[in-house]
């Protein structure tokens, strides 16, 4: 029975969990202050750090929510893959950094969503 439920709902649950990670992260940046996040971006020499910080917030929240809702999932997954790859290259490119491998796993999940789409949608199949 569990196998049947997971086969019917696994893609929906998986993309919702991945999307939730990005939505919560984006909201967290806003709640903790975009200024401090912008400062972290500035330390890497990225131009217009405040603009980039707000762009990151928008991408995380909008693409994460789209992933959760199953709306334009391929585009949302692609945007989040690109963002995660850039964040990994800029901040986590160290074999001793567990975030490197976490981000690679997230990219793998997003790649799956990009290739196979939204799945069964919202309705829970029991």
pLDDT attached to residue 121:
62
Per-residue pLDDT of the chain (126 residues; tens, 9 = 90+): 888 878 778 888 899 999 999 999 999 999 999 999 999 999 999 999 999 999 999 999 999 999 999 999 999 999 999 999 999 999 988 888 899 999 999 999 999 999 988 876 654 444
Beta-sheet strands, E only, within 32-100: none
Q: End-to-end distance of the chain based on CA atoms, in angstroms?
A: 8
pLDDT given for residue 122 in this prediction: 58
Q: Residue-wise over 73-85: b if at least 16 C-beta within 10 A, else e?
A: beebbbbbbebbe
| pLDDT for the residue 9 | 83
Q: What pTM does this model have? A: 0.89
CA distance readout (Å), 31 to 28, 52, 65: 5, 17, 18
Q: What is the pLDDT of residue 41?
A: 95
CA dist 74 to 14, 28, 85, 110, 115, Å? 14, 25, 16, 9, 7
């Amino acid at each position: 029975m569990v196998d049947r439920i997971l086969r019917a709902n696994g893609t929906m649950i998986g993309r919702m969990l991945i999307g939730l990670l990005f939505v919560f992260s984006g909201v967290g940046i806003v709640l903790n202050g975009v200024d401090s996040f912008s400062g972290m971006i500035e330390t890497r020499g990225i131009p217009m750090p405040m603009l980039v910080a707000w762009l990151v917030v928008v991408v995380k929240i909008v693409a994460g929510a789209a992933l959760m809702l199953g709306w334009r999932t391929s585009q949302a997954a692609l945007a989040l893959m690109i963002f995660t790859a850039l964040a990994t290259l800029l901040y986590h490119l160290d074999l001793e950094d567990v975030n490197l491998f976490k981000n690679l796993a997230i990219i793998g999940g997003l790649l799956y969503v990009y290739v196979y789409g939204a799945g069964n949608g919202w309705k829970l199949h029991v």
